[in-house]
Amino acid sequence: MLSIEQQAQFREQGYLVLPGFKSVAAIAAVRERAGQIVEAFDPSENRPVFTTQEQDRKVDDYFLDSATEVRCFFEEEAHDEQGRLRVPKHLAINKIGHALHDLDPVFEQFSHGPELAAVARDLGLTQPQVWQSMYIFKQPGIGGEVRWHQDASFFDSDPITVTTFWFALEEATRENGCLWVEPGGHRGPLRERFVREGRQVKMETLDTTPWPGPDYGAVPLEAAAGTLVLFHGLLPHYSAPNRSSVSRHAYTLHVTDAASAYSPRNWLQRGDELPVRGFT
């Protein structure tokens, strides 16, 4: 699936961009299904907000239990001071997570198959395990910033093997909040670790190496719909708020190798009721 040159680029840069990986029909199917999930979501029952800021305080049971459920999370700016939605519901949702790939038939089909298994194999994942899926809306006008981070902070293992599969479902540009990455940054240290103790979580600081920025080592990854972006779990990445008039839908999978030891302190755990599995 991946050429020798592509495998070398991933090892050297920590990421790889594969245009045209998913078809127009496949993208249309998951976008339609995401719309149906949001339509069925009753915001009067829960007002969960997703943010990458102040994570020690924002995490609750609704989030923790989403490890084995399909749940919707609002954008941080979706509500006014009185708690009312500032925009229609379908424009207020930040993401759907975190077991779409196992529990929803449409997303299960999108998230599995021999092509993805071949990519994982060529990246060195001998026994892929797909832990998490997220449908990210990056809504027009209020799409939240995702601060600089490394995915290994949330999916720690020994050795670190987490790899992110990020699918562009709409065109991603600088204007609507495309990914930014630090080429080669995966050779640096793990800066933080998001750990769980019972029903509590916290972010531990491990290393104070500065994060990159637009003027210091960061590059944008603008991508057309259908593009698959792969990146190493230690690669620093970021996306700016979306203040444009168009959304930036994307879908992500976080995958580790069963040959590595998945940390029991990671926030997302799976039990016998929904065991973690691979691409095939």
Mean pLDDT of 129-135: 98
Task: Name the helix (H) or strand (E) containing 205.
Answer: strand 200-205
pLDDT value, residue 216: 79
pLDDT value, residue 55: 45
Does 274 reside within a domain? no
Q: Give the model confidence (pLDDT) of 245-271 as tens digits.
A: 999 999 999 999 999 999 999 999 999
Does 205 reside within a domain? yes
pLDDT value, residue 72: 95
Does 277 reside within a domain? no
Burial 25-42 (b: 16+ CB within 10 A, else e): ebbebbbebbeebbeebe
Closest CA to 24 of 248, 225, 173, 222: 225
pLDDT value, residue 59: 57
Does 70 reside within a domain? yes
Q: How many domains does the chain have?
A: 1
Q: Give CA–CA dist 217/185, Å, rounded.
A: 9
Closest CA to 256 of 189, 190, 157: 157
Place of tokens 């933080």: 192
Strand partners, 146: 239
Does 197 reside within a domain? yes
pLDDT for 228 beyond 80: yes
Q: Are 162 and 150 within 8 A, CB to CB?
A: no
Residue 178 belongs to domain spanning: 4-262
Does 250 reside within a domain? yes
Does 273 reside within a domain? no
Does 267 reside within a domain? no
Provide, rounded to the nearest whole percent, the portion of the chain with pLDDT above 70.
94
pLDDT for 155 beyond 90: yes
In sequence order, the 6+-apart residues with CB closer than 8 A to the CB of 79 are 47, 49, 85, 86, 92
Q: Give the model confidence (pLDDT) of 79-92 as tens digits.
A: 888 888 889 999 99
Q: Give CA–CA dist 48/164, Å, rounded.
A: 24
Q: Are 52 and 149 within 8 A, CB to CB?
A: yes
pLDDT value, residue 164: 98
Single-letter amino acid, residue 264: P
pLDDT for 163 beyond 70: yes
* Beta-strand relationship, 128-136 and 250-257: antiparallel
In sequence order, the 6+-apart residues with CB closer than 8 A to the CB of 179 are 166, 172, 220, 221, 223, 229, 237, 238, 239
Q: Give CA–CA dist 99/221, Å, rounded.
A: 26
Q: Give CA–CA dist 266/102, Å, rounded.
A: 19
pLDDT for 3 beyond 90: yes
Q: Are 207 and 148 within 8 A, CB to CB?
A: no
Q: Give the model confidence (pLDDT) of 119-130 as tens digits.
A: 999 999 999 999
Provide the CATH number for the domain around residue 168. 2.60.120.620
pLDDT value, residue 57: 41
Beta-carbon count within 10 A of 79 CB: 17
Q: Are 143 and 91 within 8 A, CB to CB?
A: no
Output helix, strand, coil percentages for the chain, rounded to the nearest 5.
25, 30, 45
Half-sphere exposure of 177 (CA within 13 A, CB side): 26
* Beta-strand relationship, 93-98 and 128-136: antiparallel
Q: Are 270 and 199 within 8 A, CB to CB?
A: no
Place of tokens 């976080």: 254
Q: Give the model confidence (pLDDT) of 31-80 as tens digits.
A: 999 999 999 998 775 555 545 444 444 557 889 999 999 999 999 999 88
pLDDT value, residue 52: 47
pLDDT value, residue 48: 55
Provide, rounded to the nearest whole percent, the portion of the chain with pLDDT above 90.
86
Single-letter amino acid, residue 99: A
Q: Give the model confidence (pLDDT) of 215-224 as tens digits.
A: 778 999 999 9
